[in-house]
Structure 1
Amino acid sequence: MLFKRLHFYAFLFFNLTLRLNSGVSLTSDGLSLLSLKSAVDNGAAVFADWNEDDMTPCRWTGISCTNVSGSDDPRVVGISVSGKNLRGYIPSELGSLFYLRRLNLHGNNFYGSIPDQLFNASSLHSIYLYGNNLSGSLPPSMCNLPRLQNLDLSRNSLSGSFPKFLRNCRPLQRLILAGNKFSGEISEGIFPELANLEQLDLSSNGFNGSIPNDIGELKSLSGTLNLSFNHFTGKIPKTLGDLPLTVSFDLRNNDLSGEIPQTGSFSNQGPTAFLNNPMLCGFPLQRSCKKDVDITPSVQIGSRGNEGVNEEKGGLKSGVIILICLADAIGVAFIGLVIVYIYWKKKDSNGCSCTGKRKLGGNEKTSLCSLPCINGFPSNDSEVESEKGGGGAASGGVSGGEGDLVAIDKGFNFELDELLRASAYVLGKSGLGIVYKVVLGNGVPVAVRRLGEGGEQRYKEFVAEVQAIGRVKHPNVVKLRAYYWAPDEKLLISDFICNGNLASALRGKTGQPSPSLSWSTRLKIAKGTARGLAYLHECSPRKYVHGDIKPSNILLDSEYQPYISDFGLNRLITITGNNPSSSGGFIGGAFPYLKPVEPEKINNYRAPEARLPNNRPTQKWDVYSFGVVLLELLTGKSPELSSPTSSTSTEILDLVRWVRKGFDEESPLVDMVDPILLQEIRAKKEVLSVFHIALACTELDHEVRPRMKTVAENIEKVGT
């Protein structure tokens, strides 16, 4: 090292002598920069144009200059020689660059310590030395810089304790020391002085002891407070909850213990923030905190089975025994009611057909069952012959006249007889007819909707409508494959989508969203649905208005790709003469629905103007409905909910009003978002973006709502 310095000084003396003799001299900034060239072992290519014969260094690679008052020559204000794999040391002569503002040497292989003299360059405000092999401790003189805002020394081999002198670096906005060898406890009294600090990353070091209580006084902090992969111990200070609500915590892989506080910004954190702290417990972790307190009967409900045991007395409390007996009695009574109900249903359904009078599988004497059966289509030859009247043509397949089975998709061919003999399972039943899953002879499942009888005089109109629907081809729209027409039977055959619909995924049997609906899955569903709906509005043959967008009409496959179903169905129902006012079935659907048709409830997915009589559907109706679906994906709540206004009363709000009220009152995001999404804390900004898209879609004034094409484009940008 000493030899190199002597060599460099001799080199400078020789060149300075030449300049004096020739009358030409390199500026003082240029001479200082040549020290960096001399300090690097393998920089011939990088510093090829750093020529000592030049009068100024301002055209050298990686050097930026500017004119400053009081100086005849441009002065060096920036050095950026990063990612070049340079091997050498940082020369102290760089400290003589009085006007140097930005030093960027990251991504190289500089070794040795950071020279104390470097910080004589008093104009420095940004120092980026990350990704090198620097060692030693931090020089105290760095905080003498009056303008230092950005200091990134991550991914080096720096060591020592977290220095107290850092409290003197008051202008600091970003302090990144991750991936070094710092150790020891962090003293209090440092962070309250760093009022401008926006980013703090101390991860992947060897810090130990407790997290300083006064770290919560960093009021300007944003982004992520990263203390992960250290050896911090003790409880998490509650003062971290005083940090701004937009701050995310990363406390993973420490030795923290105790219960996670539930105040302030803690409410916006997901479980990822606290992973791999074995002694940490409480929400949002799936690890409850044990407390040595008496457990009363009121807290027994929903608790672990062994918490009702009195550990001191070794027996059950009297209140627990009463609850157990009461639960047993209720269970026995419920089972009895179920048995009686099934018995009377079987008795009432004795001899009935599952398909109804003059339908596939029915006859003149049969009536419609109160519950759909599993095999709605005839399953043996005798039933088929009975329906044909003993000798009808197979192509007709229904009594009272012949019919045509027409394949819209030319590659999708099968015979009506194959359809009639196939295994069929009821999927849905409503005012729009019955939907079956039918497995054809080649093993391919299809969905068959029975539209019923009627509309004999409107055959051409029916065919034209079906053919138009069949021309719709989009990856997120259910494909219609074929149709069947006869005077008293109309069938639509479409793709079978195997994983139910969004309504069952969001509600299911428990009333809670499926655990499979992670944020990434919900975003996939939202994007696919938006693409499909935008296609129907803009690119389909008739620029369709769907008119009934809701979760039960968004089908899901095994990969949770969404498919829009039921577009154009109301028009077909009108042609056939059925009542389209009741909705619940779906083309291509897969949702077990075994209850009688219920009266229609208020449809909170419909736009306000759609609820007025005699209004014709518009594409802006669909935009509003899609916005409600987005809000349901975000919140996990149904579109009609009750909001408590006091301890004794509740206010009935629809989902749109509830979310708008939350944003108007600046409620924490955690109060509105589905708790399942809190497990993916990195998605917080994405969730907020989708909230804004949903609120734009659900504007009361339909003129203000965006087109579906714009909505699809905006949502595609989320997460990319």
Structure 2
Amino acid sequence: MERRKPHQLMAAAALALLVLAARDLITCSAGETQTLIKFKGSLSNATVLSNWDSNSASPCSWTGVWCLNGSVWQLKLDGMGLGGMLDMESLAELPLLRILSIRGNWFEGPMPEVKKVVALKAVSMSSNRFSGEILDDGFEGMEALKMVYLDRNRFTGPVPTSLANLPRLVNLSLEGNQMGGKIPDFRQMELRMVDLAHNQFEGKIPPGLRKMNSSYFQGNKHLCGKPLSPCKSSKKIILFIAIGVAAALLALAVVCTFMYRKKSDIDEAHHVKPERGFGPYGAGLRDAQVNNQQPQMRKRGGDHQGKLVFVRSGRERFDLQDLLRASAEVLGSGSFGSSYKAALMGGPAVVVRRFRQMNNAGKEGFYEHMRRLGSLSHPNLLPLVAFFYRKEEKLLISDFVENGSLASHLHANRNPGQPGLDWATRLKIIRGVAKGLEYLYKELPGLSLPHGHLKSSNVLLDRDFTPLLTDYGLVPVINKDHAQQFMVAFKSPEFTHSDRMTKKTDVWSLGILILEIITGKFPANYLKQGKGANADLATWVNSVVREEWTGEVFDKDMRGTKNGEGEMLKLLKIGMCCCEWNVERRWSLREAMDRIEELRERDSDEEYSSYGSEGELYSSRAMTEDAFSFSVTN
């Protein structure tokens, strides 16, 4: 027998090891295949996982399965309409599983026992229907866990001790639940985000969280301390009341004094009552409540020594003193500042908006940006007329629009017998809004957010109900912290979860606006303290459609719907596709525009029936499944 040389023996040994490794890999893949098939068996509505085949040699090409070195490393089943009970014991048999994401599905019941998969690094269960208290030891032993997203469920009770004590925690989101009690302290060195907004937490924010963004604590009425307002003792409350009474008496004395002075200032005791409710320029529900004080535009200490800068040619000029002499009326007080209607002597009425959250904008850059906005001209944009610059505050001046905002027509209390907007008008408004947004995309290509604050209170309507977009293009000049706290684009899924913006973020805002117009429901998540079942409008619409396809999804005040239900359904689908949680699957503005342009006031065929006697909208099963074969978890 021929004797082998040492290098030949080494090669043979290496080959044997490769064979053994390959055999082990095949065995591992086969084992993981059966494990995932077992896990699938615990799910309902799992038709989307049709390529999960027990005869497959490896699961690495299956829907939602990501592998690393031949083993399952990530299970990502977002927005697939799945339900049932999560079989965590099966997932514990996957040795390299590190990421589990099931956001935007229909899972319900108590918090799954994620601690059985002890090596997980990231867990995302956002926008499901999990409920009840999370066990205090629910995350015990998960020392590798860094990312936990449980927002927009129905959890109650306190933050579990085991969750607060995770040693490597980086991001935690519990926003939009019903949790409460005292907030435990978080001492992790790498901690970046703890979002507890829109819950029922109370007491003082602990030291470890005081450097967080204040938006992470909004919507908890009884929270106090940095970064929110200071906590007040009962003694302080009494003191503040006394100070308030004294201040009120002093203010009354000052007003009485000024009533006898003959100056060219605005008379703060003018006999003009402020608008109630939304007002023509109301900022929508809570952030549009009318300020019950008259405008404070009095000239003090050289505050208004500068000049108005007009950015539109062909306009009749006026100066700052003309504004100060004009009779003024408070229109509203929103997240950026107050708005006033000023009736100029012998001229048109204008709206003056005061911005205090632009003090980081330099004069040269501000002038350049305002002139750029002033050069924009489109039938669906409200033109900027002039501006005034001062370090501490800025004034933006535009024409007054008599017919008010879209928000006021959708949500303000109407007089008895006053009809709501009909289907044809709502479709006209959506088309105009989309065209105006498309123009902004074209003319402001360098901005990732050409609008940035698109919502119903920033859509004004002229006498013919032609929509006019306002508050557009302001992201570059608004202070960053304030923008992130109040502007609509910063409430998008991509910013909420990843602190990023894309060219599709304004499309998400358009999608929410479409849903608001067609359902008549206000997206309460725009509010600083908005909460409740309708806080996430897209999720609410999706749940109504999936659970019971009824006319409940459409605004009962919408007239002229006969023979138009099919087109309404198409618009509803457009809205859902525009606010798709996954940015990659979200429609582009161009695609949305094309679909909106195809809509008509009336159906073109007999495919859809009309409203039944009880207000139900019946449609073919095929159309319903086609229209909502996607999932949105906003």
Q: Which category of TM-score, normalised to the shorter sequence, fits these structures? A: 0.3 to 0.5
Higher RCO (CA-CA < 8 Å; seq separation 6+): 2
TM-score by length of 1: 0.40
- Max radius of gyration: which structure? 1
